Amino acid sequence: MALPSSLKKISDTLWELPVSYKPGMLVPARIVATEKLVREMDAGVFDQVTNVACLPGIINYAYCMPDGHWGYGFPIGGVAAMDPQHGVISPGGIGFDINCGMRLVLTNLTLEEVKPHIHRLVDALFYRVPSGVGCTGFVKCSQTEFRDILEQGSRWCLKNGYAWPLDLEMTEEEGCFPGADASKVSHKAIERGYDQVGTLGSGNHYCEIQVAKPENIIDESLARAFGLTMPNQIAIMFHCGSRGFGHQVATDYLQLFLSVMERKYGLKKLDRELSCAPFQSPEGQDYFAAMKCAVNMAFANRQVILHRIREVFSSIFHKSPEDLGMNMVYDVAHNTAKIEKHVINGKKRDVLIHRKGSTRAFGPGMEGLPDCYRETGQPVIIGGSMETGSYLLAGMESGAETFFSTAHGSGRTMSRHQAKKLGKGQKLQRDMEERGIYVRTDSWGGLAEEAGAAYKDIDEVVEATELAGLSKRVARLLPIGNIKG
């Protein structure tokens, strides 16, 4: 597409739209991308990222990552830091699937050991980890107990036998955002989510068995530090979030904010999808507490899924998960808002970071990382399409400009409707199996929507993040088995 005439190239991986681009912009908008990637972005990215630049209290710049594409309110791949005292919080800057995130788990198994069992493994995972719209999990809890999950996150899982202590250490914020308050959540949200703990859901969510081949280890030192120590080592990566619960939380507060923006706070409605409220307002604080509940639900959801994955591998290989070396590398969240400390104009201060389809990528030495990652930087997981593979990366010291944020995935290049026109899900499944990737799905149409051609080139996206100094490539992980929502 033709780029906006006022788009300025700052460097080979950084582009800027000035405040003169659109009335109301308070800061410039910046896009992290190579020239090829920025030219492939849809027009909605430029419109939405400059809308974000109009939000009260925004600091420095509105950002979009290399995987950026049109979203709801913010572009997917959007990052914005707000002044917590004078800025706003916007559900459109977090997303409906609050704390949609990635988790990577290792094994001490090799491709040669797993390949003969790949059909049994994928079939068992498909049975044990429910997927699809409206699916329910095996954790049976009352609505009252579900409220405990919302406030405790992975800690609830540890107390109830679904987690190892080390799992929490290897999860962002140890699997629980403090300050979650279930009283700020609607009864409808509780009803939608209390039976969905331990489920993948639909859309681009997946659970994938992967192999780290020697030729795909990019940084051997970091790979060893993250646990990739064997040739053809098998890992499991999965991607999911807060399911219908998070969607309802976002819906509830989007509607509330629309009703108070102009009438109560005099905030201009530039885009209904960017409804917002002052962060320090009662409505803003209520949403922040409810959003944290959805974050914690998602952490618990992924933790229970990990418990089921360990059960599957243990049953097929007749060893305990401990003996199979099924340790977490890390769990990274995207679609969150957090108070973090960053250096602004030479001074460290609290800022409210919105990350919408963007991953935190703390560099070496930063507070909040497990001790084992203090020297390496945070593990970063960027998922590709089910046909192409994914990446393990590490946060870099040079990521400060984007508030230590990086890409979260490949990023779509076409709508789900367009992707369905490419071909049938049944044929795609057969073609993938011929290429050594066995897939099970809840929906043939849903599988067609997730064809590799519907996504950007993952290699180009992660290369851009490294060239921009946001996250460093460690290893490329190739799929051999996949369950899709």
Whole-angstrom distance, CA of residue 450 vs CA of residue 455: 8
**Residue 383 is labelled as binding a ligand:** yes
Q: Would you call 86 a catalytic residue per the annotation?
A: no
Q: Is position 289 within any domain?
A: yes
Site of tokens 């706070």: 265
Q: Is position 72 within any domain?
A: no
Q: Is position 7 within any domain?
A: no
- Structural domain of 431: 101-253+272-484
**Residue 409 is labelled as binding a ligand:** yes
pLDDT recorded at residue 387? 82
Instruction: Provide the domain count of the chain.
Output: 1
Q: What is the pLDDT along the chain (485 residues), one digit of tens a residue?
A: 689 999 999 999 999 999 999 999 999 999 999 999 999 999 999 999 999 999 999 999 999 999 999 999 999 999 999 999 999 999 999 999 999 999 999 999 999 999 999 999 999 999 999 888 888 888 989 999 999 999 999 999 999 999 999 999 999 999 999 999 999 999 999 999 999 999 998 888 999 999 999 999 999 999 999 999 999 999 999 999 999 999 999 999 999 999 999 999 999 988 999 999 999 999 999 999 999 999 999 999 999 999 999 999 999 999 999 999 999 999 999 999 999 999 999 999 999 999 999 999 999 999 999 999 999 999 999 999 888 899 999 999 999 999 999 999 987 777 777 767 777 888 888 888 999 999 998 888 888 777 768 788 999 999 999 999 999 999 999 999 999 87
Give the tokens for residue 265: 């706070």
Q: Are strands 405-406 and 206-212 parallel, antiparallel or unpaired?
A: unpaired
**Residue 51 is labelled as binding a ligand:** no
Q: Is position 220 within any domain?
A: yes
From 69, 119, 408, 417, the catalytic residue: 408
**Residue 385 is labelled as binding a ligand:** yes
**Residue 346 is labelled as binding a ligand:** no
**Residue 410 is labelled as binding a ligand:** yes
How would you label 35-51 residue by residue, b for 16+ Cβ within 10 Å and e otherwise? eebbebbbeebbebbbb
- CATH code: domain of residue 215: 3.90.1860.10
Label each residue of 145-169 as H, E or C: HHHHHHHHCHHHHHHCCCCCHHHHH
Q: Which H/E stretch holds residue 291? A: helix 282-317
Q: Is position 263 within any domain?
A: no
Rounded (10°) angle between helices 282-317 and 243-265: 170
Q: Is position 330 within any domain?
A: yes
pLDDT recorded at residue 1? 62
**Residue 334 is labelled as binding a ligand:** yes
| Greatest pairwise CA separation for the chain in angstroms | 64
Site of tokens 């960017």: 274
